[in-house]
Structure 1
Amino acid sequence: MTTNSIVLIVVAILVALALAGVVAIFSRKFRSDRRLLGGATVLGEMAADAAVIQHRDDLRAQHEGRLADD
């Protein structure tokens, strides 16, 4: 192995470690942001959206029922 090959391998390892560090920092940041938002998760947000849509549909059905009765 030449000196250039060793230098390239060392640089590649350092870049990989730096990238892993950046990913770890951002994952911690976003995890703490979700906790600040009340522990919102993707599944929790989907459940909340489904509840809103169900409520909207129930109100529409009640409104249409009243119009049919009139």
Structure 2
Amino acid sequence: MLYIPTGSAPDAVNQENGEEIGHYHVGGRFGIVNPRMVGGTIYLGKSWDWINTVPMKDVHLHFQTKQV
């Protein structure tokens, strides 16, 4: 799975075929950012120096964290 922050919504994309699996509208604008994924949460910097957090399950409905 590839997570891409674009415009105002992070997208989940199948890296094998480019099909969009899901997206979640956050609002505002992301600009050029490098999202970080930690413990089932996507951390996104915004162009206004804000940090937004989005649960990965909101972007990709079938996302599951693994117990280690």
TM range (shorter): under 0.3
Q: Which has the higher strand share?
A: 2
Tell which structure's C-alpha radius of gyration is larger: 1
- Give the TM-score of the pair, scaled to structure 1: 0.19
Higher relative contact order (CA 8 A, sep 6+): 2
